[in-house]
Amino acid sequence: MAGPVDQRVVRYDPERVARNLASGEWSAVPLARRFQDVARRFPDRPAVVDRVGSVTYEELDRRTDLVAAGLLGSGLAPGDPVLFQVWNGIPGVVAWYGVLKAGAIPVATLPAHRSHEIDHIARLVGAVGHVVDDSRHARFDLVAFARERAAARPTPTHLYVTDSDRADVAGASLLEALGADIDPAEARAAVDAVQERIGPEQVAVHQLSGGTTGVPKVIPRLHGEYWNNGLAWARALGRTEHSVVAHAGPFVHNAGISCGLHSAHAVGGCIVLPQADRDPVLRMMAEHRVDDTLLGQGMFHWILGEDYPAAAEHLRTVVLSGAKVPAEVFARVESLGARVGQTFGMGEGMFTLTPLDGPRHLRATTVGPPLTPGDEARVLEPGTEVEVTDGEVGELVCRGWYTIPGYFAAPDHNATAFTSDGFYRTGDLARVHAHDGQRYLSIEGRIKDLINRGGEKVNAEELESLLLRHPAISEAAVVAMPDPVMGERVCAYVVSVDPALGVPELQVHLDALGVAKYKWPERVEHIDALPRTLVGKLDKKALRADIVLRSDPHPALARGALPDRSDRPIERDG
């Protein structure tokens, strides 16, 4: 019998739940069991490859049983939220399935997050555990950080370390040491006992929203739908147990899970998980004969580089995502023999995907129709519930079997983030291109106020309120400045008594506030007063136009100056 559903989770309409279960869009089998079923079918096939080695399904299944039993023995209980700060690699995946098998809830925070983000999310979800990677190659000590944040919390947090070269991780447990002495059959029995009590409406994973207002929101993804979302993606691309899929972005992101880890594993395929640096990604793609990958906007320029053809030798499927795809990028992928398409997606749920046999001009210029027949997408006049006619630009809204009906513990925000009939307002502007009975979408901009820095979203309102805490700043507005590599970077317009206030001073300020580095402005413009519209509202359009005029068209590429803001571990190989 399933346990109760958390009151802070907005439930899908009961009729929809029944329909989704009857149609097979949802599954009554919890996520970790879905993984176990696949592991039983393909025990000897490689499940994960990282820069250090690989694991088979059988090994991953066994190790994660032991981790789950160890976690339960350490005091973690089913339903407990566990913050994740792990890099791409086998240790992170072991932690992911281990936590899921224990019935606990991975929270998809990032290693780049600092106290500002971690403390907020920990409070919001009531984090009980915190998993971090450790490595002597790390440029930031996540273990010390997790220990410090736990000490600042009123309630105790279990700290777990996935991958340590250090003997001393005092105050934390080495994840794989926890269950090392447990008999495998006993560990499996402990996992079974937990899984039996998980129902399809219970939260499997908490994803984070890029957000439209204020602070990041939490997106509860459910056992009933989340694995099947990955399976639907795998089926749309024709993935099988022979697929070798690379995912270079953070694997815990929704795209990393739904298009990468779960999608590859739903069909018994292999996921190759490099860190996001260009050279190791391209090297691993060639070495492991990767045949299928998703490349985000921060990676488009790799495709134009001289070493891409060698990496792409085995690529048969490439999906591009995150921003408008330059024509030369699309053509280059195609010229090397891969099927190429585009996707649009978000942690809140709905994906679109251009069918890979769809007409070339639609694969090159649109993000395709919704991924599955159960997805509903509409384009509305912004601020209304009135649909625009096909071909006109409006706000994209969506609903369906895997699109959330509400954010976690956010009733006020939910009141405006959804239409009266439950469609999620994406904040993105789109246009419908009807073709052959299908409704392809193109993304034409956005109304939500965020900056998309190579796939990481920076919430403008949140950053502005942090900048205003600087004693020398009286007004601040941040906007996206176009960037040939990242797509967008953060530019801050400030009204300040200190004319010398620049990027370094803002970085010191934001660092002191514990703000993740990818949010730090990379350009500061001083201004006497922020521009206002006739009705006195901040005129961000004017600022966006201003920064486009001021921008050097090829700044970072031309200077080769791409600050690494990830604190990723330094690669051991090569």
Q: Which residues bind ligand AMP (CB under 6 A)?
A: 210, 254-255, 321-323, 342, 344-347, 367, 426, 428, 443, 446, 452, 457
Q: Residue 249 in contact with residue 276, Cβ under 8 Å?
A: yes
Strand-pairing partners, residue 54, are 49
Instruction: Count Cβ atoms within 10 A of the Cβ of residue 316 and give its class: 0-12 exposed, 13-18 middle, 19 or more buried.
Output: middle
- Nearest approach in angstroms of CB 393 to ligand AMP is 13
The residue (of 221 and 523) whose beta carbon lies closer to ligand AMP is 221
- The CA distance from 380 to 366, in Å, is 18
Q: HSE (CB half, 13 Å, CA atoms) of 157? A: 30
The residue (of 179 and 322) whose beta carbon lies closer to ligand AMP is 322
The residue (of 274 and 487) whose beta carbon lies closer to ligand AMP is 487
Residue 463, helix vs strand vs coil: helix
The residue (of 344 and 418) whose beta carbon lies closer to ligand AMP is 344
Distance, C-alpha 116 to centroid of its chain: 18
The helix-helix angle for 57-73 and 184-195 (nearest 10°) equals: 70
- Nearest approach in angstroms of CB 341 to ligand AMP is 11
The residue (of 195 and 452) whose beta carbon lies closer to ligand AMP is 452
Token pair in block for residue 544:
């966006």
- Nearest approach in angstroms of CB 349 to ligand AMP is 9
- Nearest approach in angstroms of CB 494 to ligand AMP is 26
- Nearest approach in angstroms of CB 254 to ligand AMP is 5
Q: Return the residue matching tokens 């908490």.
A: 206
- Nearest approach in angstroms of CB 90 to ligand AMP is 24
Q: Residue 402 in contact with residue 229, Cβ under 8 Å?
A: yes
- Nearest approach in angstroms of CB 370 to ligand AMP is 13
Diameter of the chain measured on Cα atoms:
72
Residues in the chain: 574
Sheet with 376-380, side-by-side order of all strands: 376-380, 394-399, 424-435, 438-446
The residue (of 268 and 347) whose beta carbon lies closer to ligand AMP is 347
The residue (of 482 and 531) whose beta carbon lies closer to ligand AMP is 482
Residue nearest to ligand AMP (CB): 346
The four Cα atoms 148, 87, 117, 472 give a dihedral, to 10 degrees, of 90
The residue (of 345 and 521) whose beta carbon lies closer to ligand AMP is 345
DSSP state of 470: S
- Nearest approach in angstroms of CB 426 to ligand AMP is 5
The residue (of 255 and 261) whose beta carbon lies closer to ligand AMP is 255
Structural element, H or E, at residue 35: helix 31-41
- The CA distance from 347 to 456, in Å, is 12
The residue (of 79 and 347) whose beta carbon lies closer to ligand AMP is 347
Q: Residue 312 in contact with residue 336, Cβ under 8 Å?
A: yes
- A 10 A CB-CB count for 112 gives 18
- Nearest approach in angstroms of CB 558 to ligand AMP is 25
- Nearest approach in angstroms of CB 345 to ligand AMP is 6
